[in-house]
């Protein structure tokens, strides 16, 4: 099932999104698309049927060391249909100021992150 997706920057949006980019009531997580830190468009439907732990992450947060446990969980449970999906955001205390490349390098070099990481996105809504 192909869906056209629009991003907040004017790119196509998901079928389950309103014009402002806010999900409609009852919208499925799996009906959305996003971009990886490498800039590739991916459908969250790729993880349908798996248990997905969706985590808001930041490189300069006091909880940043949780990357170690998240990666261990991802490695230990991946063959059982479990994945960690990391979504960086700079909305909370400006703790993720880096570019996609900087975030990717930090996560890989510092914590050996191999679970899917996605582009930095606002998560608190417009102007919040």
Q: Which of 15, 53, 55, 61 is catalytic?
A: 61
The answer to whether residues 118 and 34 touch, using CB atoms and an 8 Å cutoff, is yes
Contacts of 57 (CB under 8 A, 6+ apart): 64, 67, 86, 87, 88, 89, 96, 117
Structure tokens at 69: 């446990």
pLDDT tens by residue, the chain, 128 residues: 333 444 444 444 444 444 445 667 777 889 999 999 999 999 999 999 999 999 999 999 988 899 999 999 999 999 999 999 999 999 998 999 999 999 999 999 999 999 999 999 888 876 55
pTM, two decimals, is 0.77
φ, ψ at 44 (rounded to 5°)? -70, -15
> Where along the chain do its domains lie?
39-111
CATH topology of domain 39-111: Glutaredoxin (3.40.30)
107 catalytic? Reply is no
């Amino acid at each position: 099932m192909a869906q056209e997706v629009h991003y907040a920057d004017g790119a196509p949006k998901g079928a389950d999104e309103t014009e402002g980019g806010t999900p409609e009531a009852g919208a499925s997580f799996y009906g959305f698309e996003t971009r990886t830190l490498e800039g590739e468009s991916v459908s969250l439907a790729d993880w349908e049927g798996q248990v997905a732990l969706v985590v808001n992450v930041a490189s300069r947060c006091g909880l940043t060391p949780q990357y170690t446990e998240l990666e261990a969980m991802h490695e230990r449970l991946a063959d059982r249909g479990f994945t960690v999906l990391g979504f960086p955001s700079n909305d909370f205390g400006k703790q993720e100021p880096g570019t996609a490349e900087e975030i990717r390098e930090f996560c890989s070099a510092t914590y050996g992150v191999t679970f899917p990481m996605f582009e930095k996105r606002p998560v608190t809504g417009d102007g919040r």
